[in-house]
Structure 1
Amino acid sequence: MTHTQPTRNGRTTSLRTALRQEVAGTIGLLADEQDFSAMRRYRSFTFDDHKTYLRQVEGLLKSLAAKGGHTTVALFDPDEYEEYCAETGLEPDTPASRTRFTAELASVGPAIAYEGQPLDDLVPELVDEAVRQATWQYASTTLSHIGPCAGCGQDIGRAAFARASYLIARAVDSVGSGAHHWVGSVPTTQGMLHAVLHVDATEPGTVTLDETEAMELTTLLALAIAHGNACALVVRTTTGDTQRIYGWRLKDERLEPLPAARVFDAYCNDTESGDLTAPEPGVDYCTAPDIADAGPAGPHCH
């Protein structure tokens, strides 16, 4: 029997096909109509309908995934793109410039890995990630620029972070077993800032949490401590088929439990009309546990 050897060109093509599967890619997504409209001023951007554009993006993502490719989706901001081109001297009205900008987005901007999820699910997740990063950057930058206390020379941002770290740790210890969804809220001149923390304490003696989320929540609380802002921490705890909602407010650099009635009002009153709404079935609106406070000194006053 005669055995035929693959041609050199055939083998090269096969190797290149295999190599493509090793290459990760990034798509810069124009998630809303406003950003899409801003890009239409460039002649090289040929789409004229946002819905059609989104369908084509989703089709491309599915096609790349079907071939074994790994693709990350990043938010494409036209204003940031324009600034990038001005700083780098690139001509903005070319696909090549948009590609270079998109490549950098994957390393510095909010991005989500495409894993087959519908674009309707991916876009809100991507926007949430962008808000989360913006909140973290604002809070951490603000803390780092506060500087030392005029009275004692202590770094205010660092002291506030140490205090916040202690309070968050004690609060996590106080809530006991269950799956805990934390939300921190702080009003600032930039609007209301939020941070989320998920804590899994369903297994006895084990507490699992996302360290990045914990850092973000701690930084947000530290920002409130450093500036004397209000701050609320609210927790939804799920244990089996039951749920409890409770929380604390920041007062004098300490976490003070919110009364159950106040928690109920916050969740069962329409914020626009003021009308009472039905409580969630199976949810107990209760008072948070007291937090033992023997950590870093409280109010920093001079």
Structure 2
Amino acid sequence: MSRNPRAPRPSRCTANAAAAGRPHGEEAFVTGILTSAEDFERARAWRLTDAADFDSYLLDTAVLLAEARRTYGTVQARMFHVDDFADFCLLHRLDPAEPVSRDRYLVNPPLQTQLLPYQGEELVGDFVPRLVRARDSGLTLRHVELLLDRVPGGDGGDGGDTEDAAVLVRQAHQRGAELFRRMLVGAGFGAYRFLCAVEAPGGRLEAEARILHWEDGVVRINDEDLDLVCAVLCAGLYRELPGAALLHGSQGSAGACGEYRQVAWAWQSEGGGYAPAAVELDEVRAEPGFSLGTVC
């Protein structure tokens, strides 16, 4: 995490770009962002920032990111989670007050799924909440990876099993993505929230996505949310686990004379596939959805 917003200090991954002979504008800038006043106070002892309070810290961070976008080819950030950082330093016997410890934490390979590209979004209302979700999503993706490492009913034996498992994973991912597509196409134009949950060994897998489906057929969804939804659906289908999916929101468009209606549809799976069913997820109740087999 850079301490001086006027001179953004990239993490160690920038050195790799420079060593490859790329122009400075093609290097990557990676930083971590504290996402709450509580985390800011807990991190004071590590001297991560000179800001007087959390609001000032966010203003400094906004300046830092704007300067980084003018200087570097790629700007990425992840939630600087104080508990994760403390555990990381304890595991690797690092001093949390040393800048090198922060750099190692930010570019730690198992945590790369938590990195988000910064493209000038509003920091407080948009980007910071996405960073929090990306941290949770990263943990879920790691859980999914562990589930996909096993061949259902297999013993993890020879290389043939590994090749067969790779094919099965690809097929399950395609099936999950197609199920999600059919749910969105069947719903039609509107603004929706999608929820899904799979009951997996080691704990429930959950994913959420906000979706805008425009009249011209364009669907707006954050890439990281799409990846997580497909991963959770894939894991459930691959391991034949019970799960549920729910789509609710406002159906309609301005082109339809401004007519909107509130909808909530749900589907349930016993492991083999999803069928309409009454479901409650995250305190949202939904009636059985439309048949996915009727959607092209």
Query: Which TM-score applies when normalising by structure 2?
Result: 0.62
> Which of the residues 139, 154, 175 maps onto 2:144?
139
Match of 2:290 in 1: 289
The one-letter code matched in structure 2 to 1:133 is G
Q: Which of residues 103, 127, 131 in structure 2 aligns to 1:122?
A: 127
CA distance in 2, matches of 1:196, 1:38: 30
Aligned to 2:36: 32
Instruction: Decide whether aligned partners of structure 1 residues 41 and 231 sit closer, same or farther in structure 2, where only a CA change above 3 A counts.
Output: same
Distance 2:197 2:77 in 1: 28
2:5 aligned residue: none
Fraction of identical pairs, as percent:
15
Alignment partner of 1:225 is 2:229:
no
Query: Quick one: distance in 1 between partners of 2:152 and 2:138?
Result: 26
Q: Do structure 1's residue 178 and structure 2's residue 178 form an aligned pair?
A: no
Tell me the distance in 2 between the aligned counterparts of 1:53 and 1:131.
22
Corresponding residue to 1:254 among 273, 278, 282: 273
**What does residue 162 of structure 1 align with?**
171
Instruction: Give the counterpart letter for 2:79 in structure 1.
Output: L
RMSD, aligned α-carbons: 4.5
Amino acid at match of 1:125: R
Q: Is 1:238 matched with 2:243?
A: no
Q: After the TM superposition, which residues 178-217 of structure 1 pair with which residues of structure 2 at under 5 Å, given as runs?
A: 178-179=189-190, 181=192, 182-188=194-200, 189-196=202-209, 198=211, 200=213, 202-203=215-216, 213-217=225-229
Q: What amino acid sits opposite 1:113 in the alignment?
A: Y
| 2:118 is aligned with 1:113 | yes
In structure 2, which of residues 149, 153, 156 is the aligned counterpart of residue 149 of structure 1?
Answer: 153
- CA 1:245–1:31 in 2, change beyond 3 Å: closer, same or farther? same
How far apart, in 1, do the equivalents of 2:41 and 2:236 lie? 38
Tell whether 2:114 aligns with 1:95: no
Name structure 1 gaps, 5 residues minimum: 1-18, 269-284, 294-302
The letter for the 2-side match of 1:216 is: L
1:62: which partner in 2?
A: 63
Q: 1:201 to 1:288 in 2, by over 3 A?
A: farther
Quote the residue 2:12 is aligned against.
none
Q: 1:119 to 1:73 in 2, by over 3 A?
A: farther
Query: Does the residue aligned with 1:169 lie in a helix, a strand or coil?
Result: helix
Q: Which has the larger radius of gyration?
A: 1
- Report if aligned partners of 2:144, 2:231 keep a CA contact under 8 Å in 1: yes
Q: Deviations over 1:94-146 (max 9, x none)?
A: 235435544668966433516251435432221012212221222123212x2
Find the residue that maps to 1:292 and give its secondary structure: helix
Q: Which amino acid aligns with 2:236?
A: A
Q: Provide, for residues 17-48 of structure 1, a one-character-per-residue CA deviation record: whole Å limited to 9, x for no partner.
A: xx998876443222235544553444x55769
Aligned-partner Cα distance in 2 for 1:171–1:101: 34
Gapped regions of structure 2 (runs ≥ 5)? 1-22, 254-258
1:90 CA displacement: 5.6
**Partner Cα distance (1:37, 1:165) in 2:** 45
Compute the displacement of 1:253 (Å).
0.9
TM-score, with length taken from structure 1:
0.61
Equivalents in 2 of 1:22, 1:158: separation in Å? 36
Deviations 1:44-74 (Å, cap 9, x if unpaired)?
557697xx04423423423662794565432
Aligned residues: 251
Pair 1:26–1:168, CA change in 2 (3 A): closer
Question: Structure 2: how far apart are the matches of 1:101 and 1:150?
Answer: 36
Residues 193-222 of structure 1 deviation map (CA, whole Å, 9 limit, x = unaligned): 224374746336x77877765443232123
